[in-house]
Structures are given as C-alpha cells and as structure tokens.
C-alpha cells in the first residue's frame, strides 16, 4: 500500500449489497452484475481499503423516488411486471415451506404499489412499453428489485454528500446512463444517475456530470439538455454504427441549456497518453468556466483495453488517472459504475479506483484469498497488459480540432 496524496483525510462512503450481483440478464448477455461482487471482494480482500471507508448497505429506492424522473406508467409497468416475479417467488417459497399465506411485508409492498399507481392515475392496460422485446433489455427474475437497488444507492450517494457525511461516495452498481424517462435502452432500465443528480440539485446550484464509459451518456444528456444547472460531459467512441449513435461534437444543448452539453466523440484505438491529454485539457477548462458545486462521475470500464464491447485501449492506470484528476479539484464527488464487459478487468479497475478515492495505491498482487482468484490468471496481478499493436484511429489533428471546438463552445458560458 502506498499513500498517493496528502489529503487521504477525505471521507469515503461506499454503497454495496451482495444481492445486486445475483441478478442475471441472461447467459448470453454481456452485462454481468456478478462483476459488482467481484469488485467488492477485491476491495474487501485488499483489507486496508475496506477498513478506511464508511460502508453502507444499499436499500431499494421507493416508487415515489424513482418517479422524480421516470414516467409513473413506465414505473408501474416495470414494477407490476416484476411484482409478478416476486409473487411467483413467494408462492414457490411458501409452498416449499408449507405456508399458505403471503408474508405480511410483501403484502404491504404490493398494496403500496397499487395505492401509488391509483394516486398517479396510472393506466392499467399498458402495452406502450416494450421491455423484454429487444436482446439489450431482457426481462429477468427480480429486474425491478435490481433497478431499485442500483438507484437506491445512487440516491443515497447524493444524500451522504449533502449531509456532509462523505466527501466522496461510491456506487459501482450504478451508472446506468442510457435509461430514458419512459424507455429502457442499452442494458439500462432506471436512470440512477439522473435520480442522483436531481437530489443534488435540491441543494447545489451547478452539478458537473463526467462520463468515461465508452458509450455516449445519452439518457443523462437528454434529461438535462434544456438546463444550465447540470453540465453533461461524455467521452465516447463514435461512428461505424457504434451504440447508441448520439453524442456528436455539435450536440451542445438547447435554450438556456445551450453549451451545457459537451461531447467528445472519438474513433477506436484511444490509448492512455492521448486520452488523458484530451481529458485534462477539456475537464480543466470545464472546471474553470462552469465552477460546479459537485461532480458526478460515471466510470464505465468498457473504455479499457480488451473490453468485449468497447474499442478503446486504455489501461487501468489511464482510466484511473481521469478519476484522480477529477478528485484533485477537491470538491464533493460521486463515483458510479456503468459498462464493462471483460469482468475480471472491470473488478480490477473499480478496486483500483476505490483506492484512488481513498488516496491509496493498492498492491499489484491480487489477494490470494479472493474467491474469484482464478479469474485473474495467468498473472494474478492488478494491472493487466493492454492489447499491443492497436492502431489509434484518431489523428492528433482531429483530437486537437475537437479540443478547440469544445473551447469555442465553452467560451459562450458566462462566468
């Protein structure tokens, strides 16, 4: 363990619930919630990390909380649908245990859902929502509980910052940046990030959202496209039909929100040096002109080399350098997860970045008592070797042009 900065005194709140890692999108689906358990186990097994954080149990967000952003019909659609799963689960449980009645607490939960849906004048027959129709967003056992846990943690991250209990709050099960007001997309159903930022806006005047997932943070951008109280900044792969296909350089926001959406679209092959350079040039100017009260950072790990979906070539150190740089501004910060499909590298990355939050550089040797130890073969090391001989398809003049265009947009922001 090496102390990496003088201000390790910053309090870190870490949110976790092992149930979140138990959900399954499906055998062939690239999104594996198990990576959250894997990251957690590394963090626990690097014992000195775990001991320095305040660890909180994630709770399920309530329907009213989710309703601060999402459409009530959509929420009920998801919850009724998932309640059926729960009812089935409970029925199976009851028959296995020779019990003939549904437990009181679940009955209460179902009653609350029905009451809330009546208050919201929810249409009962609703075929508008098509969750489950596309392979990206399947329905699976416990889907709504998964959404409630992921968003409950991001909302509580905001609360821990607002109450002064923490300077940095972490939810690796959050960061589901594609979910829209009434639409699931790109493996995301409920947008925990928007819910988190809305909580922060109850107190803070300006919130900066930074997204280093390899995909464009379209759901968060769309939610705040018309406002100047949130600046959204996404770095992403763009072109050749790369998902979701939004996030062009000239998507800058509308009305009072004009110039408060910032997009940095790049071609595949970005490696540490040019990525970090771009990242620092842009975020330093953003911090200077926008002066946010708080930073919410989506740390999607599909921008790492060897990811199954993303085409960038970052090392864990390169990815972590971005987190470290944002931390160096010394304002409250929330770190969220996101994409990441080569799961042994995702867990490595988020364990390393938990260390960054704590001002600790963790050891290169993976703790041998880790139950997922075999995933880290053949080297059993924290930092994996990045892909060699990868062409960075971004020419330096193209990257410079992006930076100068972003600077030009930012020059319209009043100080």
Task: By CB under 5 A, name the binding residues for Zn ion.
Answer: 213-215, 300, 302, 339
Determine, following the binding rule CB under 6 A, whether residue 300 of this chain makes contact with ligand V1P: yes
Nearer to ligand V1P, 115 or 308 (CB): 308
Phi-psi region of 175 (alpha: psi -120 to 50; beta: other; left: phi over 0): left
**Binders of ligand V1P in range 52-91 (CB under 6 A):** none
The span of 68-76, 229-237, 346-354, 369-377 binding Ca ion (CB under 5 A) equals 229-237
Determine, following the binding rule CB under 6 A, whether residue 338 of this chain makes contact with ligand V1P: yes
178 is catalytic: yes
Q: Please state the closest distance from residue 349 (CB atom) to Ca ion, in A.
A: 15
Nearer to Zn ion, 138 or 339 (CB): 339
Length of the chain: 415
Q: Within 13 Å, how many C-alpha atoms sit on residue 200's CB side?
A: 27
Q: Give CA–CA dist 334/157, Å, rounded.
A: 7
Nearest residue to ligand V1P, by Cβ distance, number only: 339
Binder to ligand V1P among 187, 224, 350, 376 (CB under 6 A)?
187
Q: Give CA–CA dist 298/309, Å, rounded.
A: 17
Going residue by residue from 216 to 245, which x/- string records binding to ligand V1P, judged by CB under 6 A?
---------------------------x--
Binding partner of 136, given Ca ion, Zn ion, ligand V1P, none, CB within 5-8 angstroms per partner class: ligand V1P
Helix (H) or strand (E) holding 294: strand 294-298
Binder to ligand V1P among 103, 132, 135, 255 (CB under 6 A)?
135
CB atoms within 10 A of CB 34: 17
User: Looking at 40, 70, 177, 178, which residue is catalytic?
Assistant: 178
Nearer to Zn ion, 45 or 246 (CB): 246
Binder to ligand V1P among 14, 15, 30, 304 (CB under 6 A)?
30
Written as one string, the DSSP assignment of 82-102 is: HHHHHHHHHHHHHHHTT--S-
Determine, following the binding rule CB under 6 A, whether residue 183 of this chain makes contact with ligand V1P: no
CB atoms within 10 A of CB 341: 22
Binding partner of 243, given Zn ion, ligand V1P, Ca ion, none, CB within 5-8 angstroms per partner class: ligand V1P
Which tokens hold the place of 396? Answer: 């330096």
Nearest residue to Zn ion, by Cβ distance, number only: 339
What residues have CB less than 8 Å from 387, skipping those under 6 apart?
A: 305, 306, 313
Q: Give CA–CA dist 177/166, Å, rounded.
A: 23
Say whether 236 sits in a helix, a strand or coil.
strand
**Binders of Ca ion in range 199-228 (CB under 5 A):** 211, 213
Determine, following the binding rule CB under 6 A, whether residue 215 of this chain makes contact with ligand V1P: yes
C-alpha angle 17-22-28 in degrees, rounded to nearest 5:
140
Determine, following the binding rule CB under 5 A, whether residue 73 of this chain makes contact with Ca ion: no
Task: List beta partners, residue 263.
Answer: 234
| Chain contacts with ligand V1P (rule: CB under 6 A) | 28-30, 135-136, 176-178, 186-188, 213, 215, 243, 300, 302, 309, 338-339
Catalytic residues: 178
């Amino acid at each position: 363990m090496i102390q990496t900065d003088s201000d390790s005194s910053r309090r870190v709140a870490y949110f976790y619930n092992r149930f979140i890692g138990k959900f399954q999108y499906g055998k062939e689906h690239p999104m594996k919630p198990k990576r959250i358990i894997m990251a957690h186990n590394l963090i626990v097994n690097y014992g000195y990390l775990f001991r320095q954080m305040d660890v909180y149990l994630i709770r399920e967000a309530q329907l009213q909380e989710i309703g601060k952003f999402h459409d009530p019909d959509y929420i009920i659609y998801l919850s009724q649908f998932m309640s059926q799963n729960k009812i089935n689960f409970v029925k199976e449980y009851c028959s296995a245990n020779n019990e003939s009645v549904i437990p009181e607490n679940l009955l209460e939960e179902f009653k609350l859902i029905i009451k809330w849906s009546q208050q919201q004048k929810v249409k009962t027959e609703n075929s508008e929502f098509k969750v489950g129709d596309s392979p990206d967003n399947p329905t699976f056992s416990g889907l709504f509980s998964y959404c409630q846990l992921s968003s409950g943690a991001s909302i509580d991250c905001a609360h821990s910052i607002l109450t002064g209990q923490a300077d940095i709050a972490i939810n690796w099960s959050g960061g589901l940046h594609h979910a829209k007001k009434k639409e699931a997309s790109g493996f995301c159903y409920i947008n925990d990030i928007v819910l988190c930022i809305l909580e922060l806006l109850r107190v803070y005047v300006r919130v900066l959202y930074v997204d280093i997932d390899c995909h464009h943070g379209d759901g968060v951008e769309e939610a705040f496209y018309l406002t100047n109280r949130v600046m959204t900044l996404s770095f992403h792969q763009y072109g050749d039909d790369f998902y979701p296909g939004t996030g062009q350089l000239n998507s800058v926001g509308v009305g009072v929100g004009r110039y408060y959406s910032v997009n940095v679209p790049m071609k595949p092959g970005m490696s540490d040096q040019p990525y970090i350079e771009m990242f620092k040039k842009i975020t330093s100017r953003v911090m200077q002109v926008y002066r946010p009260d708080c930073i919410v950072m989506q740390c999607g790990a599909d921008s790492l080399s060897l990811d199954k979906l993303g085409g960038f070539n970052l090392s864990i150190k390169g990815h972590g350098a971005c987190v470290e740089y944002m931390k160096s501004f010394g304002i409250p910060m929330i770190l969220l997860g996101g994409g990441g499909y080569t799961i042994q590298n995702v867990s490595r990355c988020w364990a390393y970045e938990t260390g960054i939050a704590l001002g600790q550089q963790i050891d290169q040797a993976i703790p041998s008592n880790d139950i997922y130890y075999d995933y880290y073969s053949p080297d059993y090391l924290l930092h994996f070797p990045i892909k060699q001989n990868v062409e960075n398809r971004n020419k330096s003049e193209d990257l410079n042009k992006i930076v100068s265009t972003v600077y030009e947009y930012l020059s319209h922001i009043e100080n």
